[in-house]
Structure 1
């Protein structure tokens, strides 16, 4: 009996000491949070919802209410100025819209991407996701090594050679729209365009023809959708995995990541084997990557994993952002018939009745370029980027201690009347070649050395798809649909852009 009493006493003491240690650790952490508050509280910002959670609850409430988080950030920018503070536990982020600071920080390679954000995308709920790919690599040397491998695959001479694929896949969409016009049914344009852009990236990057417009049972579009959902939960909802009701969704997202990486490994290994055996292989992005990797002697296990990281990155970013941009263009053209008519006139003049759009035609579609740029101003599909401030600096007159993240929102900056007159008006004339260029407040593809590698590719593809569509069809928006923006990690039209389609008179003749 005495032994049991002694053991019970020992356990009680251990529990007491453990409790004391937990209390001391918690108090110590609270003191550290208080120190961080004191360090940055001279910078303006909205009141914190709580001492520890900071502004986390406000963002979660925006997400749960289906409002756009970026609109809340725009509201706070208008209230607190060109720099304001956001808190979450011991982390501080500064939202900056000062053009001079935007130029200084984004254009310089010394400011790395924010590790707290991009390292969360290394894994997605325990599965390696984007890893150390081009978008997520924080270390400059790792990023630069990969960029050297990728650059030749996005050179102007190589992109010029992609026009055949752009035309081919856009033709598949025209055939599908022709069927819809004949049936007089409703086209969900975002879904259709999403299939086309995913087809394009798979064909030009990996030599694989998915033919998604005629293969609606393919698992890949849904897998991309699930991965995007997982990204937004990982970045904005730190408690998502703790709720049992989310267990099924978490597993679905893990399975989607597994599908993409398994598929990537299969396609990469098949191409490697074909190259090694001397077979004729497509002169696509994957072949170029393998060629560059061999020249640079990068072929260890981690390099192979990074190939998969970039496979996932291209698979998602290479189609999602372009599809969203094209969908927003169609939504705005449907709301502005005068812009649509002018655009059709330009397409008729430059393209005429040609079946195949040439590379040189794209440069002549100047008003279409303006429409695309204005669309990205109002609806930047990738809403912003962030950098890590590693040293003390001054932004807009405020001394900012090093050791915090700096957020640059293209969505917020592009919707400020300080930078764009009547910012909620869709006006392609802002980007007329003779108009003054925005000064570091317009960056839908980011800026500086870490700007988007695929931006020219994306705009070429968008031009081909839109020019063919405007050449052959007339469309009108289905009345009563929403024009709200849906945030799925990228920004897309909530309604899917529902349209009625009919042939143009000349395309019938």
Structure 2
């Protein structure tokens, strides 16, 4: 039976806390009564006062015993405990609220970068006496994802945090359930299907026409919204065989322009679905940052539940129809479970594995995040960098016109031959990996190797959350060179590739690594490459248009201040507002103006 998320997670936690408190009260009361009988001359108020005064003493003793046991366990393995980031309030509660504030209004990595500067690349962000180990060391991340893969799982805490949205899908499961979900989709993503490019081409043509209409009317375009509609339409056709056609609703206008009419019909349904899915992800992304007390922030109900009602209302009828269609097939008509025809959708393939509505929904939504949200985010950041670096755009467009031509459809072979295109995508993924932070839970005690031979390794206790950030690792100057904070695609082509990445491949992990490496990695590269080629065949220049954006969603002026910018030098120069839930995105969108290319432009000489 599939586990269900609690509708009132805060009430459930309060019940456990009150239950523990009630048990403690009964124990104290019994002790006081026993003492009163033994010493009848002692006033009851004095006994209760003594019991109350013993609480903080007892708690302090418990913490000291816990620390002592931790140090002993570490010493037995020849290791040392991970250093704890010091807070200023009881339980380091100030760190919790600072982290939540940074998550809401800061630059990605704010809070963690300061701790790295003070503590090094591995530390314990302990809040409310609950350990959260954190690292940006590539050899530690390699241990988590590859060499000790079986010892680092998503775990019960992460599963509880994400259950209300991700269910038991591939991103929120371990063991046999993870293997089951992985095996369901593996044949589909390893199959070299030309129909993928058919889908891309159909929706790219529609997307280009919508963009040109808006640009020719004199308006800037929110590229993030535009590419998100393209990926949503492509993803829903890829998954279900039937696109939601969100592009048909028309593109949004700049914030100061009153839209002539609100979207309706299929377009409105698609927008509602996309918005609700994003809101649900934002809710669950905050939970790990709140530690074990997160349900207390949702004491009046699961905050993801209203958004998920919208998501389920859209997706469940589609799944139910596919289930009924599969059940109606005769034994002769049914294909083998693992057989994948070129005209199959993902859902066609999945319903041959299972007709369990919950399993299907969980897997589809997990794929939607992996295949749609991450691609849209990366394409948005690519366009941002092309606007900021016109020399890169010019060189990339020259490669497109030389290798593909001004109007030819991209092919697998053509894309594979475009080295600079891949370098531009990789450099974007380095600075803005779609999934910037991730977390695992240790099953048993282990150690993380020290960075130098003179230091003891770090002790990792059992059942402990360990977070890691490829976002921060990708920006480390000791791993990528002194220009690590600069956008330069040539680092994936020149001598820096062999100096930094080739000898240490775990410093670049935009698609994860080890057994959980992204199955859709090549699919994502193909989709992004295809769309970039089509864009540069149609447009020759791109400029940012911040005046079209709501001022409240532009980068805060305080990011330019030296005290703010010292932790990440990109923070002071960014012209957009990067934020994150489970994946990264541009807060308020990325508003741009593009110049159409000459449609009869001849290919450049090789």
**TM-score, normalised via structure 2 length:** 0.72
C-alpha distance 16-411 of structure 1, shift in aligned 2 (>3 A): closer
Conservation of the 8 A alpha-carbon contact between 2:162 and 2:284: no
C-alpha distance 140-176 of structure 1, shift in aligned 2 (>3 A): same
User: 1:470 is matched with which residue: 507, 530, 536?
Assistant: 536
Conservation of the 8 A alpha-carbon contact between 2:81 and 2:460: no
DSSP 3-state at the match of 1:257: helix
1:449 maps to 515
How many Å separate the matches in 2 of 1:100 and 1:415? 16
How many Å separate the matches in 2 of 1:166 and 1:33? 57
Within a 5 Å distance, the mapping from 1:84-99 to structure 2 comes to: 84-99=123-138
2:89 maps to 50
Conservation of the 8 A alpha-carbon contact between 2:102 and 2:110: no
1:143 maps to 178
How many Å separate the matches in 2 of 1:387 and 1:15? 33
Deviating more after overlay: 147-156 vs 81-90? 81-90
**Alignment pair present for 1:305 and 2:358:** yes
User: 1:290 is matched with which residue: 339, 344, 351?
Assistant: 351
DSSP 3-state at the match of 2:314: helix
**Alignment pair present for 1:410 and 2:463:** no
DSSP 3-state at the match of 2:134: strand
**Alignment pair present for 1:426 and 2:508:** no
User: 1:497 is matched with which residue: 590, 595, 606?
Assistant: 590
Within a 5 Å distance, the mapping from 1:133-172 to structure 2 comes to: 133-137=169-173, 139-158=174-193, 160-172=194-206
C-alpha distance 274-71 of structure 1, shift in aligned 2 (>3 A): same
C-alpha distance 14-393 of structure 1, shift in aligned 2 (>3 A): closer
C-alpha distance 459-424 of structure 1, shift in aligned 2 (>3 A): same
User: 1:341 is matched with which residue: 394, 397, 406?
Assistant: 394
DSSP 3-state at the match of 1:476: strand
DSSP 3-state at the match of 1:374: helix
How many Å separate the matches in 1 of 2:82 and 2:274? 43
Cα distance, 1:361 vs structure 2 = 2.0
**Alignment pair present for 1:275 and 2:275:** no
Q: Deviations over 1:396-444 (max 9, x none)?
A: 1334042222222101101110111212100111212762225212111
Cα distance, 1:78 vs structure 2 = 3.3
DSSP 3-state at the match of 1:501: strand
DSSP 3-state at the match of 1:107: helix
How many Å separate the matches in 1 of 2:297 and 2:421? 47
DSSP 3-state at the match of 1:68: coil
1:223 maps to 276
C-alpha distance 30-223 of structure 1, shift in aligned 2 (>3 A): farther
2:429 maps to 376
Conservation of the 8 A alpha-carbon contact between 1:477 and 1:500: yes
DSSP 3-state at the match of 2:465: strand
How many Å separate the matches in 2 of 1:32 and 1:317? 43
C-alpha distance 380-49 of structure 1, shift in aligned 2 (>3 A): farther
User: 1:63 is matched with which residue: 85, 99, 103?
Assistant: 103
How many Å separate the matches in 2 of 1:32 and 1:259? 46
Cα distance, 1:47 vs structure 2 = 1.0
1:100 maps to 139
Q: What residue ranges of structure 2 are gaps of 5+ in the alignment?
A: 1-21, 31-50, 72-79, 250-266, 335-340, 451-455, 548-553, 555-574
Cα distance, 1:394 vs structure 2 = 4.0
C-alpha distance 171-19 of structure 1, shift in aligned 2 (>3 A): farther
**Alignment pair present for 1:131 and 2:167:** yes
1:212 maps to 246
Conservation of the 8 A alpha-carbon contact between 1:193 and 1:327: yes
DSSP 3-state at the match of 2:152: coil
Within a 5 Å distance, the mapping from 1:217-256 to structure 2 comes to: 217-218=268-269, 219-237=272-290, 242=296, 253-256=304-307
User: 1:76 is matched with which residue: 94, 103, 115?
Assistant: 115
Deviating more after overlay: 453-462 vs 76-85? 76-85
C-alpha distance 103-316 of structure 1, shift in aligned 2 (>3 A): closer
DSSP 3-state at the match of 2:109: helix
Cα distance, 1:28 vs structure 2 = 6.3
Aligned residues: 479
Cα distance, 1:67 vs structure 2 = 0.8
User: 1:400 is matched with which residue: 459, 465, 471?
Assistant: 459
User: 1:112 is matched with which residue: 111, 134, 152?
Assistant: 152
1:203 maps to 237
Deviating more after overlay: 325-334 vs 478-487? 478-487
C-alpha distance 368-484 of structure 1, shift in aligned 2 (>3 A): same
Cα distance, 1:371 vs structure 2 = 0.7
How many Å separate the matches in 2 of 1:479 and 1:143? 43
**Alignment pair present for 1:186 and 2:279:** no
**TM-score, normalised via structure 1 length:** 0.85
Cα distance, 1:269 vs structure 2 = 2.1
Conservation of the 8 A alpha-carbon contact between 2:351 and 2:360: no
Cα distance, 1:460 vs structure 2 = 1.2
Cα distance, 1:465 vs structure 2 = 1.2
How many Å separate the matches in 1 of 2:248 and 2:409? 22
Cα distance, 1:100 vs structure 2 = 2.3
Q: Deviations over 1:38-77 (max 9, x none)?
A: 537843342124342453233123235x113513213322
Q: Deviations over 1:72-128 (max 9, x none)?
A: 21332233223211102232122222322222221133123242552134433xxxx
How many Å separate the matches in 2 of 1:34 and 1:62? 31
Q: Deviations over 1:9-63 (max 9, x none)?
A: xxxx999748759968987666555544553784334212434245323312323
